[in-house]
Amino acid sequence: MWQDCDQWLKDHQEEMIQSLQELVRVQSVSTPCEKDDEPFGPAIAQAFYKIIELAQDLDLEVRNLDGYDVLVDLGDSGELWGALSHADIVPAGKGWSVPPFTAERKDGKVFGRGTEDDKGPLVAVLYAMAAIKACRMPIKNRFRHIIGGAEETDFRCIHYFKEHMPKEEIPVGGFSPDAAFPLIFAEKGILHFTLRKKWEKDTESDLILMRLSGGERVNMVPSSAEAVFGVTEAGRAYLEEAYFKYADREALLWEEGGGEITIRAKGQNAHACKPDFGVNAIALLMNFLSHLAFRPKAAQEACLALSQFAQGAFTGEGFGIACRDEVSGALTITGNTIAGDGHGLQISYDMRWPVTIPLTEIWPKIEQKAQEAGFTVQQDSQKNPLYLAKDSHLVATLLKVYGDYMGIADPQPIATGGGTYCRALPGFAAFGPVFEGRAELAHQTDEYMGEEEILQLAQIYARAIYALIGV
Ligand SMILES: [Zn+2]
């Protein structure tokens, strides 16, 4: 049954690659709104224009949803299913061995920012839809490919879609070709929160904590953190002794100048969804500070509490919230940015909690521990967990498609601490594009899409679409 469709896609492989190249050449990083119909700036508008042109060439129905999304439709009756991809990219960054926006072809690959995330998959889904139409495969349902313009920033594209579409125009479910195969069926909840504490400035004592800093982003385990002390002669001697006695001194650097001493902790960066790949420099620093007596007293107490909160590294033991579930594994929590001065400090945490455990069982414990230690607590942002049962229609259908195509007997879906686009639309699961065993290059240098790979993606996505809407 797939012979014609596969052949159609094979015949259009070169065209598919060229469509991807054209799209990669548009540097579609979203920028602040300049016009009403360009809410994500001119580069996204330009990418949308190209996509609309391509969809028209492929004889698909397409429209621009006020500059927020492009909608490409197949079929005109029945249940509505969908795909969710995005046309925006993150900036290229430095260190590429090929130019990031010329879409160079080399060794059977197309290189460039966005080739894997998410323009290659986006093009593959468009051609998959076109193949089903061109081969006149009988369908009983509708399919809508939603292509957003703000996945890499604030998801306003998909929020706009949800808010401006009547209910029957929102797909009941579908897939997002924006993560990995076989399929992601569980994504932990993500909570970002901040603890704050204030104190009176002290100028009289021998050893005074003047400043604290560390971390770059709340979702990244920090590689560096520092504490700056103002010292008298006596204070300096005390700090020096404590420093040389400290068991884990390897992780610390001592710097001195202008009557101040800086203790810098060196860790290792990692994404907060994989804290075991990193070493948290803020936790290292707090551990050292917890062995010291310094002023202001409230600052010392705060640092002691923070080192206790970091007990068990990233397991949440220190907050009394360590937990795990069968589906998605253990809770993780990391304090990833800190800033402090003579008057107080604030520290922001990234917590990822298991999909089957309600946040209401976890949050009160954090609140209580923090308040007991004199901190105020504020939730900054929250993304609820995503969890689709393994035997649900969507998960079972897509896994079968993937398994059959790849010749894998029983592909197992993935649980992750990361967040995909799917959280934005209920009933959606991330499905590809990264094949098992292939390095994931989203947001990395020398990102590429294989020329054979894009054909395979289109063939898999055609099967997935047809499994959802075919007769
Ligand atoms: Zn993406």
Q: What is the pLDDT of residues 288-324, one digit of tens each?
A: 999 999 999 999 999 999 999 999 999 999 999 999 9
**What was the pLDDT predicted at 34?**
73
- CA-based nearest residue to 178, from 241, 88, 254: 88
Q: How far is the CA of 435 from the centre of ligand 1 (A)?
A: 15
Assign residue 245 a region: left if phi > 0, alpha if psi is -120 to 50, beta otherwise? alpha
Alpha-carbon distance values, 80 to 131, 212, 414, 427, 467 (Å): 19, 53, 25, 12, 13
Which residues line ion ligand 1, judged by CB < 5 Å?
A: 117-118, 178
Residue 459 has pLDDT above 80, yes or no: yes
Give yes or no for a contact between 225 and 214, defined as CB atoms under 8 angstroms apart: yes
- Average pLDDT score over the chain: 96
Residue 1 has pLDDT above 90, yes or no: no
Q: How far is the CA of 377 from the centre of ligand 1 (A)?
A: 32
How far apart (Å, rounded) are the C-alpha atoms in residues 366 and 189? 16
Alpha-carbon distance values, 305 to 116, 201, 312, 442 (Å): 43, 19, 14, 37
- CA-based nearest residue to 432, from 106, 60, 152, 122: 122
Q: Which residue in the block uniquely carries the two structure tokens 């035997």?
A: 391
Q: How far is the CA of 200 from the centre of ligand 1 (A)?
A: 46
pLDDT tens, position by position, 182-205 = 999 999 999 999 999 999 998 889
Q: How far is the CA of 150 from the centre of ligand 1 (A)?
A: 10
Q: How far is the CA of 176 from the centre of ligand 1 (A)?
A: 9
In sequence order, the 6+-apart residues with CB closer than 8 A to the CB of 296 are 199, 200, 201, 202, 208, 209
Q: How far is the CA of 252 from the centre of ligand 1 (A)?
A: 37
Radius of gyration, CA atoms only, the chain: 26
Among 247-251, 346-350, 436-440, whose mean pLDDT is lowest? 436-440
How far apart (Å, rounded) are the C-alpha atoms in residues 177 and 345? 41
Q: How far is the CA of 54 from the centre of ligand 1 (A)?
A: 20
The residue type of 51 is I
Assign 442 a pLDDT band (cuts: 50, 70, 90): confident
**What was the pLDDT predicted at 94?**
86
Q: How far is the CA of 432 from the centre of ligand 1 (A)?
A: 11
Strand-by-strand arrangement of the 260-266 sheet: 252-257, 260-266, 224-231, 207-214, 332-341, 344-353, 189-198, 376-383
- CATH superfamily ID and name for 3-186+386-469: Zn peptidases (3.40.630.10)
Q: How far is the CA of 117 from the centre of ligand 1 (A)?
A: 5
Give yes or no for a contact between 362 and 323, defined as CB atoms under 8 angstroms apart: yes
**What was the pLDDT predicted at 33?**
80
Fold that domain 189-383 belongs to in CATH: Alpha-Beta Plaits (3.30.70)
Sorted by where each begins, the domain ranges of the chain are 3-186+386-469, 189-383
Residue 35 has pLDDT above 90, yes or no: no
pTM value > 0.75: yes
How far apart (Å, rounded) are the C-alpha atoms in residues 123 and 114? 11
How far apart (Å, rounded) are the C-alpha atoms in residues 454 and 114? 13
**What was the pLDDT predicted at 426?**
92
Give yes or no for a contact between 320 and 279, defined as CB atoms under 8 angstroms apart: no
